[in-house]
Amino acid sequence: MKIASVIVDVPAMQTDKLFDYLVPEKWENTILPGMRVIVPFGPRKIQGFVTALKADSEVEHLRAIIEPQDLVPVLNGELLALGDWLAEETLCLKISAYQVMLPAAMKAKYEKSIRRLDHQANPLLDEMFGNKEEISWKEAEARNILPSLQKEVKNGSAEVVYAVKSKANKKMVRMISSPLSLDELNEKIGTIPGNAVKQKQLLQFFLVHPGAAVPAPELAKTADASSAAIKALIEKGWLREKRKELYRDPYEHSTFQKSDPHVLTTDQKQAIQPVLSSIRENRSETFLLYGVTGSGKTEIYLQSIQAVLNEGKEAIVLVPEISLTPQMVHRFKSRFGKDVAVLHSGLSIGEKYDEWRKIIRKEVKVVVGARSAIFAPFENIGMIIIDEEHENSYKQEDNPRYHARDVAIFRSKIHHCPVILGSATPSLESFARAQKNVYTLLRMGKRMNNQPLPDVSIVDMREELRTGNRSMFSTALFEKLQDRLEKKQQTVLLLNKRGYSSFVMCRDCGYVMQCPNCDISLTYHRHTNEMKCHYCGYQTFVPQVCPECGSSHIRYFGTGTQKVEEELGKLLPHARVIRMDVDTTSRKGSHERLLKSFANGEADILLGTQMIAKGLDFPNITLVGVLNADTMLHLPDFRASEKTFQLLTQVSGRAGRHELAGEVVVQTYTPEHYSIQLAGDQDYESFYRQEMMMRKVGAYPPFYYLALITVSHENVMKTVAAAEKIARFVQSRVSGQSVILGPAACPVPRIKNRYRYQCLIKYKHEPKLKETLTTLLEHFQHQIASEGLSISIDVNPNRMM
């Protein structure tokens, strides 16, 4: 008798444990750990993951598994272990940890079927599939042939497919080839009657292209033949048809020219050596590749990956979502061609699923993707790279609240392989670890072109105002803009949107429109003339008169990108401007299109938000202007200075990357702030020292660890009461070394009509903290389940809002 341990898909703490189920005899050889199954749960049937099989159970009267959901495991042993670890580290439910590792297409609601892949004559397959290409899971189940199908899936003759609704249905092509030898072809051509010219032409095609396999429509076109002629020849057995899936390749229209490795510079050689040894010696080691922008880090990634591929292993490369631009993808595709799968949020559910299956089927060896690509189901990982490791987007902001860096290090230990964290402005945490030799520091201080880093001037906007310049462009920036226009060179203008937005205010009474559900002012969107809430999506039209006092003197404040664009239009009417922000890039592919046209020189100025700060590598950019450097400094977040420094350094790095020297103008109202001064000097290490002092004084990371508990409820009194209870609960259980801040209202105190309070735990060493927090959640279970209280715990939070 076999027993399966199952994690069930019920998102609650009480059910976050293993349940034992009997494996029915007919499934005994089918069900394996890592498969999803349907099990009875109370009166319901639900999905679960089998985590292990065993011989007996302490529980009496076990119920039996109803049926399997998969024929091959969807999570291998490593990923199951990773899921358990994730659940423990991030305090999430095991079920969410398992689910986050799978593509969305595999959610239970999608219909499944089994498709035949092998079309050679095979009585077993013929029997199961008849003359059909695909049979539904239900039919296979009813006919009791799932166990035999499982064998075919294992040996690659069939596969389970998930019918993703909408446009994501699989495209199949009929590939035509000929089984005949050249002599046979010649002979058959001779036997074809004179009136069947088309058939002759078809066979002649294969005479000229021996061994070719061509999509049927293409063949018909090239050989100038009809599909009827093709069919006739297939019936005679002179041509053969095999169906092949056409992947929904988002890059199908791009061409990638093969790129060869560069000869490494001395700096690069020094940096790559330790990585190569670690690959050779199968050593799990974390490297921090700290290299200024343009120092050739990407080339280091490419050549390390080559070393890994030479060993027959696989590599995962994470890049921030925003820099998954064609430029970056191009560099990997042109080096490794079809061995690369790309995973990013712009793909449809079906496209993501396709890329995932290429990994499972071992058709690719390199994955380049955003955060969740860290779960790529490779089985022989030789290297994990995280580019721009300091980026916020590597931390997932809802359950499971994992950081890709931690997952990378976990997997590297299992696979005995190195991790490279790359950045020009490493996170303080990582640099501190490198200082303590927890990570191995690799430095590259020079740019490839030996160009000095661009010259940065900091402009005090208060001075500009005093001298009567009320425009959003300082005199210095404006003159340089004109100069670049004359020289036909390109400019990047950054409008720092974070912590800043355009809002509508009444000039008579000062009324600012607020979201009715959230305590935050609405953002004005010019092109639709609407007001939007960025937290809950609420939107409304701009009022003609002030709702408060009736005045018609209502106007919008703030410098949105649209407003900058307008002003540019007035001041420099001949300048061609491309604007990139959430509004112009929301449609699929638009991001790429805009960048491409800028690269082609179709515009003089690229104006945009944070999304333009990274990854651009265009030779003709010689000026970067930052319109408002300090808006982020005032956010209630202890990382505000770090984020400001990083952004300014990143965007400055866009200028002068090739032959032409670059220049940067930073406009600010707080020119004396160290993060702006030191970004101006491009002096990361001084910034690091200064900021470490601030963190030490404030008892923040990397000196202390943090855990943030956020409580929310529709009723403000209930929220406060629960938050206070929680603070007391934690206080009574942690050591005297730890500090508990709060409860206090969150920086955004209400979202979607729920009030929000938070407690922050700062600690150095609390071995029992996770246990305490788990107990806390259990303690409040009742209120969570029946009173609509919500408690979220973020261990090592990235965002303090």
Q: How far apart are CA 197 and CA 48, in angstroms?
A: 60
Q: Which is nearer to Zn ion, 420 or 515 (CB)?
A: 515
Task: Classify residue 761 as exposed, middle or buried by CB count within 10 Å of its CB (0-12, 13-18, 19+).
Answer: buried
Q: Which is nearer to ligand ADP, 298 or 710 (CB)?
A: 298
* CA separation, residue 300 to residues 314, 421, 443, 483, 618 (Å): 16, 12, 12, 36, 20
Position of tokens 């490369």? 317
Q: Pick what 67 binds: ligand ADP, Zn ion, none; C-beta below 5 to 8 Å, kind-dependent.
A: none
Compose the 252-291 pattern: x for residues touching ligand ADP by CB under 6 A, - for all others: ----------xxxx--x----------------------x
Q: Which is nearer to ligand ADP, 294 or 625 (CB)?
A: 294
Out of 286, 295, 399, 610, point to the residue binding ligand ADP (CB under 6 A). 295
In 451-581, where do the E strands start and end? 455-460, 490-494, 503-506, 523-525, 530-532, 539-541, 554-557, 577-580
Q: Which residues, other chains included, contact 548 with Cβ-Cβ below 8 Å and sequence gap of 6+? A: 506, 509, 511
Q: Which two tokens stand for residue 270?
A: 């020094």
Using the rule CB under 6 A, is 68 a contact of ligand ADP? no
Using the rule CB under 6 A, is 173 a contact of ligand ADP? no
Using the rule CB under 6 A, is 792 a contact of ligand ADP? no
What is the three-class DSSP state of 158? Answer: strand
Using the rule CB under 5 A, is 557 a contact of Zn ion? no
Q: Which is nearer to ligand ADP, 420 or 629 (CB)?
A: 420
At 583, give phi and psi (nearest 5°).
-75, -40
Task: Give residue 664's Cα distance to chain centre.
Answer: 30
Compose the 488-507 pattern: x for residues touching Zn ion by CB under 5 A, - for all others: ------------------x-
Shortest distance in whole angstroms from residue 527 CB to Zn ion:
20
Using the rule CB under 6 A, is 454 a contact of ligand ADP? no
Q: Pick what 551 binds: ligand ADP, Zn ion, none; C-beta below 5 to 8 Å, kind-dependent.
A: Zn ion
Q: Pick what 264 binds: Zn ion, ligand ADP, none; C-beta below 5 to 8 Å, kind-dependent.
A: ligand ADP
Written as one letter, the residue type at 106 is: M
Residue closest to 222 by CA, chosen among 242, 202, 194? 202
Using the rule CB under 6 A, is 248 a contact of ligand ADP? no
Q: Pick what 749 binds: ligand ADP, Zn ion, none; C-beta below 5 to 8 Å, kind-dependent.
A: none
C-beta separation of 244 from 172 below 8 A: yes
Written as one letter, the residue type at 432 is: A
Shortest distance in whole angstroms from residue 499 CB to Zn ion:
17
Q: How far apart are CA 380 and CA 760, in angstroms?
A: 40
Task: Give residue 457's Cα distance to chain centre.
Answer: 34
Q: Pick what 518 binds: ligand ADP, Zn ion, none; C-beta below 5 to 8 Å, kind-dependent.
A: Zn ion
Using the rule CB under 6 A, is 293 a contact of ligand ADP? yes
Shortest distance in whole angstroms from residue 791 CB to Zn ion:
21
Q: Which two tokens stand for residue 634?
A: 């005032």
Q: Pick what 758 binds: Zn ion, ligand ADP, none; C-beta below 5 to 8 Å, kind-dependent.
A: none
Q: Pick what 703 binds: Zn ion, ligand ADP, none; C-beta below 5 to 8 Å, kind-dependent.
A: none
Q: How far apart are CA 591 and CA 568, in angstroms?
A: 21
Residue closest to 689 by CA, chosen among 645, 626, 630, 723? 645
The count of chain residues that interact with ligand ADP, using the rule CB under 6 A, is: 15
Q: Pick what 293 binds: ligand ADP, Zn ion, none; C-beta below 5 to 8 Å, kind-dependent.
A: ligand ADP
At 45, give phi and psi (nearest 5°).
-110, 125
Using the rule CB under 5 A, is 518 a contact of Zn ion? yes
C-beta separation of 505 from 741 below 8 A: no
Using the rule CB under 5 A, is 546 a contact of Zn ion? yes
Written as one letter, the residue type at 149 is: L
Q: Pick what 265 binds: Zn ion, ligand ADP, none; C-beta below 5 to 8 Å, kind-dependent.
A: ligand ADP
- Residues making contact with Zn ion (CB under 5 A): 506, 508-509, 511, 515, 517-518, 533, 535-536, 538, 546, 548-549, 551
- Residues making contact with ligand ADP (CB under 6 A): 262-265, 268, 291, 293-299, 448, 617
